[in-house]
Amino acid sequence: MRISTAGESHGKGLFCIIEGLPAGLTIDRDEIDACLALRQSGYGRGGRQKIERDRTEILSGVRGGITLGSPVCLAVWNRDYENWKEIMAPEGCDAEQRRLTRVRPGHADLTGLKKFGGEDARNILERASARESAVRVAAGTVCRQLLRSVGIEVAGYVRSVGDVCDGREYPFEALSRRLPELLMMDAEIQRSAMAYIDACRAAGDTCGGVAEVRARGMKSGFGSCMTYAEKLDARLAAALMSVQAVKGVEVGAGFAAARLPGSRVHDEIFYEAECGYFRKSNRAGGIEGGMSNGEEIVLRAAMKPIPTLMKGLATVDYVTHEPARAAAERSDVCAVPACEVILESALCAELAAVLLERLGADNMTGLKKRYEELTQ
């Protein structure tokens, strides 16, 4: 399975093509739209979310709500395009309007101009923008529905915002009770996080955080120890790192494992006739030797603060080379809850690809049968 996306932040829309989906998968468009709405929600979001009301349009590959086995094309149209048509229209526009030359630290602006040429960073930022993630959520939700059809569920929550952290561990079933404002689990901790966001907003600053995403029901043996390109943890880490503003990924105990002795890191193995092999802990995060081991897959990703600050950081004008304050595009103060939703979608997409690579079915009947026949 392969997913590719296209589209600009203020262009006509965002689009994706999913190749390799089996025929016979029922697509729930309401769930896709619900995930898109969740991506747009969250305390600390900016003005763009008040303009867009993201909905998915299925353009190909589906008939009567069921996949045909051909490429599926999804579209998420940009309502804000009407306000940007004179500047962004591919058929012809005034490209001199809204030029961005005061390149922003932490963005793709400067490096993108040096790589692709030109003097207007808008040609870079329109694609580098996290707005692109809307259609990735749409594609990821389709993959979530594929995974669910064989018994694999994905969920997650926000562990921290800035220096406000929830260090407790929660069972998978509890994640459905996360709180809507920031997708955190504890109401008191979330209130502290919201106060932290308010302080950042008042200071013209931004904040990041950490989100945890998990998959339950993935049987053992997905991924491989034979080549580095097939290692499941490497592939999942790459999928999460591909999400805008993510600067770190850990699996299971992650970086904490480096501070502990081996006796407190490795998950001891047990066997009982009625359930087979099992572990009483899951510090490996469900992956050993680059392969799923049947336990919950647990990953965390660190999102940096959004680099567009309303007070602007020191920079240089790309054309004049004069000192300047960075341009302030419309921005969020905190987008960690949105990032969590996107991370779930990225995890779903990569797990679906791994699933189909190993079991390779042309239709859902065959896929379900092959997955059922696998041992745990």
pLDDT per position as a tens digit, 264-277: 999 999 999 988 89
Helix (H, G, I), strand (E, B) or coil at 16: strand
Distances (CA, A) of 242 to 69, 137, 237, 275: 27, 13, 9, 37
Q: What is the pLDDT of residue 129?
A: 93
Amino acid at 216: R
Cα–Cα distance measured from residue 316 to residue 108, given in angstroms and rounded to the nearest whole number: 14
Domain boundaries, the chain: 2-373
Q: How far apart are the first and last CA of the chain?
A: 23
Q: CA Rg, the chain, in Å? A: 22
d(CA 208, CA 189) in angstroms, rounded, equals 16
Strand ranges inside 162-312, DSSP E: 164-165, 209-216, 246-251, 269-272, 276-279, 287-288, 291-292, 297-303
> To the nearest whole percent, how much of the chain has pLDDT over 70?
98
Distance of CA 98 to the CA centre of its chain: 29
Please state, rounded to an integer, the average pLDDT across all residues of the chain.
95
Mean pLDDT along residues 312-331: 88
Tens digit of each residue's pLDDT (9 = 90 or more) over 45-68: 875 555 668 999 999 999 999 999
With a cut of 70, say whether residue 343 has pLDDT above it. yes
Cβ proximity of 356 and 1 under 8 Å:
yes
Helix/strand/coil for 65 = coil
Q: Which letter does DSSP use for residue 276 in this model?
A: E
pLDDT for 312 beyond 90: no
- pLDDT grade, residue 329 (50/70/90)? low
At residue 279, the pLDDT reads 93
Q: Express each pLDDT in 137-184 by its tens digit.
A: 999 999 999 999 999 999 999 999 999 999 999 999 999 999 999 999
Give the model's pLDDT for residue 47. Answer: 59
What pLDDT score does 6 carry? 98
Angle at 198 (CA atoms; ends 193, 204), nearest 5 degrees: 125
Give yes or no for a contact between 156 and 182, defined as CB atoms under 8 angstroms apart: no
pLDDT tens, position by position, 230-246: 999 999 999 999 999 99
- Averaged over 351-374, what is the pLDDT? 96
pLDDT the model gives residue 331: 72
Count other C-beta atoms under 10 Å from residue 271's C-beta: 8
Q: Please give the single-letter amino acid code of residue 2.
A: R
Q: pLDDT of 249-267, one tens digit each? A: 999 999 999 999 999 999 9
Q: What is the pLDDT of residue 275?
A: 85
Spatial separation of the C-alpha atoms in residues 307 and 72, rounded to whole Å: 34
**Domain 2-373, CATH 3.60.150.10 — does that match?**
yes
Tell me if 346 sits within 8 A of 239, measured CB to CB: yes
**What integer is the mean pLDDT of 64-76?**
98
Q: What residues have CB less than 8 Å from 202, skipping those under 6 apart?
A: none
Cα–Cα distance for residue pair 45/198, rounded to 1 Å: 11
Q: Looking at the chain, which runs of residues are DSSP E strands?
A: 2-7, 13-19, 57-60, 62-63, 66-67, 72-77, 153-161, 164-165, 209-216, 246-251, 269-272, 276-279, 287-288, 291-292, 297-303, 314-316, 323-325
* CA dihedral sign, ordered 345, 266, 225, 22: negative
Other Cβ atoms within 10 Å of 115 Cβ, number? 9
